[in-house]
């Protein structure tokens, strides 16, 4: 019989092995004939892993300044040698899903409704009317994500992208007191950025992808509050609706790819109806 401690150690080792496989550094492409200058160009747009290349279309890679179609084909070929594209058995995928963790919302009853808390490797959308507690939930998760949890979860750091100037460090201090943790330590573990335009918001995601790679396994939660605010300002009227939805779908796709690395993502679309539901057909295309 395995003790609980032995099982936790085995789970952590398995998680590290999966993490190392997912986070193969893009510098490994040098061994397959890709020069340092081209690798640097990929890093400037937030592509820091071999898996990240597979998540990008050839068209998107060709739009990177300095990368021709011939270079992109060579990069794609090199990436496929390092990470073979293929199928998994349902059993293999179930083993991979064991690395999923849950973060408490701070409410036991709410956690029960969510099946143990907010789930990682996914985008969780919090929507509702004004003053229903969306931002309060974000601030609470900034603290609870740092606390050890079930199934060997050890806590981690948080990235908060603020588009409406709603982030308040003092609120984090009050929540830290509730959970009897050090206020300064809590604030040190939250990386904050203020986005001013929808383009700036997308650029910050490049930074997130790079940061998540540099400190693999350290960051556990990304919060965007709110994802829609700047798009409503930058794109107005029916004439720009199609472009807005396309840009928004691209951002959601980027967030989904980031989350697959083990990150938990919370977005606030302002008010109902749910953003992802409205964009389901666009996002799936």
Q: What pLDDT digit, counting tens, does each position of 206-253 carry?
A: 888 778 777 777 888 899 988 888 888 888 878 888 888 888 888 888
Higher-pLDDT residue of 161 and 281 is: 161
Highest mean pLDDT among 77-81, 209-213, 257-261: 77-81
20-47: average pLDDT? 78
- Average pLDDT for 89-111: 85
Rounded to whole angstroms, how far apart are CA atoms 120 and 118?
A: 7
Asked if 209 and 47 count as a contact pair (C-beta separation under 8 A), the reply is: yes
Q: How far apart are CA 258 and CA 270, in angstroms?
A: 22
Residues 52-78: tens digit of each pLDDT? 787 788 888 888 888 888 888 888 888
Dmax over Cα atoms in the chain, in whole Å? 66
Question: What is the pLDDT, as a whole number, of residue 38?
Answer: 87
Place of tokens 């540099």: 214
pLDDT-derived band at 14, boundaries 50, 70, 90:
very low
Claim: this prediction has a pTM higher than 0.85: no
Region of residue 67 (phi > 0: left; psi between -120 and 50: alpha; otherwise: beta) = beta
Residue 189 has pLDDT above 90, yes or no: yes
Beta strand residue intervals within 113-248, DSSP E: 118-119, 122-125, 157-162, 190-194, 219-225
Percent of the chain with pLDDT over 70: 83
DSSP-assigned letters across all residues of 151-184: GG----EEEEEESSS---HHHHHHHHHHTT--HH
pLDDT band at 3; cut points 50, 70, 90? low
């Amino acid at each position: 019989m395995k003790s609980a401690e032995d099982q936790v150690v085995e789970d952590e080792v398995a998680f590290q092995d999966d993490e190392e496989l997912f986070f193969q550094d893009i510098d490994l492409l040098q061994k397959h004939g890709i020069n340092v200058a081209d690798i640097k160009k990929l890093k400037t747009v937030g592509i820091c892993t071999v898996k990240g290349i597979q998540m990008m279309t050839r068209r998107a890679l060709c739009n990177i300044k300095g990368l021709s179609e011939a270079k992109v084909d060579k990069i794609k070929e090199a990436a496929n040698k390092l990470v073979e594209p293929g199928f998994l058995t349902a059993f293999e995928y179930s083993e991979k899903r064991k690395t999923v963790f849950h973060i408490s919302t701070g409410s036991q009853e709410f956690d029960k409704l969510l099946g143990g808390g907010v789930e990682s490797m996914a985008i969780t959308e919090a929507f509702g009317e004004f003053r229903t507690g969306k931002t309060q939930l974000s601030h609470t998760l900034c603290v609870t994500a740092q606390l050890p949890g079930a199934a060997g979860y050890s806590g981690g750091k948080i990235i908060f992208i603020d588009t409406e100037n709603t982030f308040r460090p003092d609120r984090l201090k009050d929540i830290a007191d509730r959970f009897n943790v050090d206020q300064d330590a809590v604030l040190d573990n939250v990386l904050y950025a203020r986005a001013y335009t929808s383009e700036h918001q997308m650029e910050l995601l490049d930074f997130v992808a790079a940061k998540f790679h540099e400190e693999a396994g350290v960051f556990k939660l990304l919060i965007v509050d709110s994802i829609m605010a700047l798009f409503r300002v930058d794109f107005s009227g029916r004439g720009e609706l199609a472009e807005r939805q396309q840009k928004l779908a691209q951002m959601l796709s980027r967030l989904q790819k980031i989350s697959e690395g083990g990150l938990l993502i919370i977005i606030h679309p302002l008010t109902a109806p749910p953003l992802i539901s409205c964009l389901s057909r666009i996002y799936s295309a």
